[in-house]
Structure 1
Amino acid sequence: MTGKDVPGLLEAQSSIPQGTRINVTFLGNEDLEMRVAAAKAVKEAGFVPVPHVSARRIASAARLEEFLAALRDVGATDHVFAVGGDPETPEGPYASSLDLIRSGLLPEYGVKEVSIAGYPEGHPDIADDVLWEHLEAKATALRDQGLDAVILTQFGFDTEPVASWIREVRARGIDAPIRIGTPGPAGIKRLLGFARRFGIGANAMIVKKYGFSLTNLMGTAGPDRFINDLGALVAADGAAGDIGIHLYTFGGLSATAEWARKFQAAA
């Protein structure tokens, strides 16, 4: 959710199991007060807030400490997501989430677990070898600080690249839980728009596996087939470890929560 989604959170509250982790984004057009208020609302609604900390949007160490202190004051620093962020030029001293983690400030403000990004289908602006180097370095830096790690991935439509990437993560000795980014139910055009924006493959074969057709873009699509197929691949891999999903609510919190409730009930 974003800082503006508190009304949507309250609307969806009864459909979301208590204790669910809900990420709160760090958008450039929202301020500290909005982000903290959203994290507080998540906490008060009985869920676990996971506020994003966008490295390249933080102007100084003092601003980072101000944000972490404000989150701590509302009980929202146990879990955070350290992410690089969009600006091409960093606004302050943190050029990457690795720089943010290496600052050593997170545990000083009560952080116990840090989510870090994974890219099963790569990143449009970052070479694969750099992505792997940073993932390994972040996992090491968190372990050295006594912090738990969770790898939260960008979303995708195809299961084979995801399964292959999971095997590579484990082969590199990284045993952190992995949460595979999965688009919740949303309009097909909207899903494809997000895919193009983030450089995710969306060719005819992939979208067919996800369960919709490029020739009919007027409807909506859900992740049922993707999750079932990925579950089968993970179950067949005895070394996959702790694997789950993270739902991106492109179609809204209520629609995603209701889909998840029905999917679980039918399982």
Structure 2
Amino acid sequence: MTGDTSTIARLLRTARLEVLPTDSITAEVRAHAPQHRTVTITASESLGLDATLAVACALRADGRRVAPHLAARMVSGRSHLEDIVDRLHAAGVDAVFVPGGDATPGPGAYTSSLALLRDLEQMDHPFRDIGVAAYPESHPTIPDAEVVRALADKHPFATEMVSNLCFDPDALSAWIRSARDRGTALPLWLGVPGRVDAARLARVGARIGVGQSLRFLKGKLGTITRLVTPGGVDTHRLLTRMSGTLDDPTSRIAGLHLYTFNQVELTEAWLHDTGG
């Protein structure tokens, strides 16, 4: 087995899953995901933040490691944040992911992930890992320079970063090199598709409004056409094309963050078949 293949196999074995907090997802994870698999739970404006917390606490009660998304614009202020921290602490949750989110903030709510992170830093919180979002490709609404500055501002408050879904291995590798050259040292969870049908991505996104994770679809038809196979997105080929970057210790790849869009059974079957 070559070094490149060994790296990919290791990353597949330790991959974590991102799921949406629908009514059926707890049972689906329990039925199909092995106990060692870390599960991150998104925050959807249409489903509400409480759904995210409920799924996280239920899966944590099974002994699984979880990381709920605390979308800043869905948190109505410091008191609400304190209640969330207390709830997660009581459940034994020691990791969170803090994006800004797509919700329109209500009166008193956080308007950015940075503001929430600053308040979280002042609390006696239980979180060993705090993740923030990173964008390998241009954000659809925020200028590149502002995205770079925002990541730098959040750096002191975070322990890791998670890249938004990207199908372009060359763009991912170039972005990783650029981020490291700028001094961004946070370990990276590389956001890639699980075993997901592209049509299913669009249907799920339209149904529950997971806008941030689906923005990659805009203007990406050529990329999708190249990478989609009859069974879904060929993530293994994407990783193989990135093997030099994955093997490079200066890339600081912590692991793979698999966007499942709740196709947990398909994703786990694919991981099993590829050695994960």
Which residue of the partner structure matches residue 6 of structure 2?
none
Structure 2 residue 43 is matched with structure 1 residue 26: yes
Q: 1:225: how far off?
A: 1.1
- Residue 46 of structure 1 aligns to a residue whose secondary structure is coil
Larger mean Cα displacement after TM superposition, 149-158 or 88-97: 88-97
RMSD (CA atoms): 2.6
TM-score by length of 2: 0.80
Structure 1 residues 240 and 221: CA distance shift in structure 2, 3 A:
closer
- Residue 53 of structure 1 aligns to a residue whose secondary structure is coil
1:170 is aligned, of 180, 183, 190, to 180
Which residue of the partner structure matches residue 69 of structure 2?
52
Structure 2 residue 108 is matched with structure 1 residue 72: no
User: Partners in 2 of 1:31 and 1:113 — Cα distance?
Assistant: 23
User: Partners in 1 of 2:216 and 2:28 — Cα distance?
Assistant: 32
Structure 2 residue 178 is matched with structure 1 residue 161: no
Could you tell me whether the CA contact under 8 Å between 1:176 and 1:242 is conserved in 2?
no
Which residue of the partner structure matches residue 246 of structure 2?
234
Q: 1:256: how far off?
A: 1.3
Q: Supply the AA of the counterpart residue of 1:184.
A: G
User: Partners in 2 of 1:82 and 1:263 — Cα distance?
Assistant: 31
- Residue 47 of structure 2 aligns to a residue whose secondary structure is coil
Query: What whole-Å deviation, never above 9, does each CA across 1:240-261 have from its counterpart, x for those lacking one?
Result: 1234210011251121122112
User: In the TM superposition, what are the counterparts of 1:8-157 in structure 2 within 5 Å?
Assistant: 8-13=25-30, 15-31=32-48, 33-76=50-93, 78-89=94-105, 91-105=107-121, 107-142=123-158, 149-157=159-167
Higher relative contact order (CA 8 A, sep 6+): 2
Query: What whole-Å deviation, never above 9, does each CA across 1:165-222 have from its counterpart, x for those lacking one?
Result: 1111111222221011111122232346769941455242x2354244xxxxx76334
User: Partners in 2 of 1:220 and 1:157 — Cα distance?
Assistant: 12
Structure 2 residue 273 is matched with structure 1 residue 225: no
Could you tell me whether the CA contact under 8 Å between 2:49 and 2:74 is conserved in 1?
no
Q: Supply the AA of the counterpart residue of 2:57.
A: K
Q: 1:238: how far off?
A: 5.0
Unaligned ranges ≥5, structure 1: 143-148, 213-217
Unaligned ranges ≥5, structure 2: 1-18, 206-210
Q: 1:138: how far off?
A: 0.7
